[in-house]
Amino acid sequence: MRRFSWPDDPFAARAAGEVHVWTWAFGHAGFADGEEAELRRDLTADEGERATRYRNAGAREQFVRTRAALRRILGAGLACGPGEVEIVPNADGKPMLPGGNLQFNVSHTDGVVLVAVADRPVGVDVERLREMPGAAGLVERYFSDAERRQFADLPASARTMGFFRGWTCKEAVLKGIGCGVRELDRCVVELHPDAPPAIHGPAETAGGWQLLTWQPTPDTLAALAVATRNAAGRVG
């Protein structure tokens, strides 16, 4: 994986099998003069209308910045204008590019945007780290039996990070597959924050995906899931 900062780093040529991830961190200070209009020029008419419907200024800013960054990155990779990039949903609703030669995934949390681009299925998730008084309840409700046992065995001081490690990794894998968080049992992941990220099961998922985690900013945690080459044609 190669990491870049957006908008400072342009689209870079990828070696075969390489995954590129761009991070855009902004402080929700609002748009500079003329900036929103400039970014909106890269959106489609439908996206522009969607942005206008946001009543919350922060949510609108994040949507506009996210879509503009995505379209500029993909447009550079496809050698076309940002507004010319055709993004269509697959049967499960996952946004895709026609043809499948270039694949992407996007995640954002408050003030941080990630865009991942690869030549095979890829998923990314980013979450802002914060105290989670209800983490145990979420683990009990959504995680597997093995994950619940591991979470219970974590020291109390590691449980918040363990929860976010598990959640970001699971969501990255499921976004890569294209099924979203409605099928959380399709992967069992390593929760311990000091252990390497890993998928422990089921066999179909554990053998088909690789995981990476990192902190794009000091108070966020991100996970990237990318299909192994021998799995790229059969997952999704």
171 vs 88, 168, 186, 220, CA distance in Å? 21, 5, 10, 15
Cβ neighbours around 112 below 10 Å, total: 20
Task: Compute the C-alpha angle 82/88/89, nearest 5°.
Answer: 140
Nearest alpha carbon to residue 167 among 139, 186, 131: 139
pLDDT at 16: 75
Task: Compute the C-alpha angle 78/175/114, nearest 5°.
Answer: 55
CB 80 within 8 A of CB 91: no
Are both 100 and 132 inside the same structural domain? no
3-state secondary structure of 24: strand
Asked, for residue 236, whether it belongs to a domain, the answer is no
- Domain end, chosen from 102, 119, 136, is at 119
DSSP state of 16: T
Hey, which residues does 24 pair with through a beta bridge?
Answer: 113
Q: pLDDT band for 236, please (50, 70, 90 cuts).
A: very low
CA atoms of 120 and 186, how far apart (whole Å): 19
Peptide bond just before 218 cis, omega within 30 deg: no
Are both 54 and 143 inside the same structural domain? no
3-state secondary structure of 222: strand
Q: Is the pLDDT of residue 232 over 50?
A: no
Hey, which residues does 122 pair with through a beta bridge?
Answer: 226
pLDDT at 201: 85
Hey, which residues does 212 pair with through a beta bridge?
Answer: 224
Hey, which residues does 5 pair with through a beta bridge?
Answer: 23
CB 209 within 8 A of CB 231: yes
Asked, for residue 17, whether it belongs to a domain, the answer is yes
Are both 85 and 176 inside the same structural domain? no
Q: What is the value of pTM for the model shown?
A: 0.88
pLDDT tens digit string along 179-217? 766 666 678 999 999 999 999 988 778 788 999 999 999
Average pLDDT across the chain, whole number: 88
Range of the domain at 64: 2-119
Asked, for residue 141, whether it belongs to a domain, the answer is yes
3-state secondary structure of 106: strand
Calculate mean pLDDT across residues 153-172. Answer: 95
Angle of the 135-142 helix axis to the 159-177 helix axis, nearest 10 = 40
Are both 58 and 144 inside the same structural domain? no
Calculate mean pLDDT across residues 80-106. Answer: 87
| Sign, CA torsion 181/221/67/118 | negative
Are both 19 and 102 inside the same structural domain? yes
